[in-house]
Amino acid sequence: MHAFGARVNIHEYQAKEIFRKYGIPIPPGEVATTPEEAEAIARKFGKTVVVKAQVHAGGRGKAGGVKLARTPEEARSIAAQILKLTIKGLPVKRVLVTPAADIASEAYVGIIVDRASKRPVFIASPAGGIDIEEVAAKTPEKILRHPIDPRYGLQGFEAMQLAFFLYSDMKQVRPAAKILQQLYRAFSENGGSLAEINPLVTTPTGEIVALDAKMVIDDNELERRPDIAALRDESAEDPSELEAREASLTFIKLDGNVGCVVNGAGLAMATMDLVKYYGGEPANFLDIGGSSNPGKVVAALRIITRDPNVKTILFNIFGGITRTDDVANGIVTAIKQRPLKVPLVIRLTGTNEEIAVKILSEHGLSAMTDMDEAVQKAVALATGGKAA
Partner 1 sequence: MSIFIDKNTRLLIQGITGRDGSFHARQMIAYGTQVVAGVTPGKGGQKFDDSVPIFNTVAEAVQQTRVTAAVIYVPPPFAADAIMEAADAGIPFIVAITEGVPVLDMTRVYPFVKERGARLLGPNCPGLITPGQSNVGIIPGRICTPGPAGLVSRSGTLTYEVVYQMTRANIGQTTCVGIGGDPINGTNFIDCLDAFEKDPATKAVVMIGEIGGTDEQEAAKFVREKMKKPVVGFIAGQTAPPGRRMGHAGAIISGSAGTAAEKMHAFEENGIGVAKRPRDVVDLLKRALR
Task: State the catalytic residues.
Answer: 108, 196
285 binds partner 1 (CB under 8 A): yes
Residues 132-151 binding partner 1 (CB under 8 A) are 133, 149-151
Residue from 174, 178, 276, 302 in contact with partner 1 (CB under 8 A)? 276
Residues 152-211 binding partner 1 (CB under 8 A) are 188, 191-193
Q: Which is nearer to partner 1, 245 or 302 (CB)?
A: 245
* Strand partners for 95: 32, 53
Residue 276 near residue 376, CB atoms below 8 Å: no
Which residues, in sequence order, are CB contacts of 49 under 8 Å at separation 6+? Answer: 41, 42, 68, 69, 75, 97, 98, 99, 100
Residues 299-328 binding partner 1 (CB under 8 A) are 318-322
209 backbone dihedrals φ, ψ, rounded to 5°: -135, 150
Residue 358 near residue 234, CB atoms below 8 Å: no
Minimum gap (Å) between residue 112 Cβ and partner 1: 9
The radius of gyration of the chain from alpha carbons, rounded to an integer in Å, stands at 26
Q: How many Cβ atoms from other residues are within 10 Å of residue 147's Cβ? A: 14
Minimum gap (Å) between residue 358 Cβ and partner 1: 20
Each residue 345-384 as x (binds partner 1 by CB under 8 A) or -, in order, gives ----xxx-------------------xx------------
Minimum gap (Å) between residue 5 Cβ and partner 1: 4
Q: Which is nearer to partner 1, 35 or 280 (CB)?
A: 280
For strands 95-99 and 49-53, give the pairing. Answer: antiparallel
Residue 209 near residue 203, CB atoms below 8 Å: yes
Residue from 275, 313, 332, 345 in contact with partner 1 (CB under 8 A)? 275
Minimum gap (Å) between residue 163 Cβ and partner 1: 23
59 binds partner 1 (CB under 8 A): no
Which residues, in sequence order, are CB contacts of 93 under 8 Å at separation 6+? Answer: 33, 54, 83, 235, 236
Residue from 89, 226, 266, 384 in contact with partner 1 (CB under 8 A)? 266
**Cα torsion angle, 323, 250, 360, 270, sign:** negative
Minimum gap (Å) between residue 150 Cβ and partner 1: 4
Q: Which is nearer to partner 1, 25 or 153 (CB)?
A: 153
268 binds partner 1 (CB under 8 A): yes
Q: Which is nearer to partner 1, 113 or 301 (CB)?
A: 113
- Footprint of partner 1 on this chain (CB under 8 A)? 2, 4-7, 113, 115-116, 118-120, 133, 149-151, 188, 191-193, 218, 220-221, 223-224, 250, 252, 254, 262-270, 272-277, 282, 285, 287, 290-291, 318-322, 349-351, 371-372
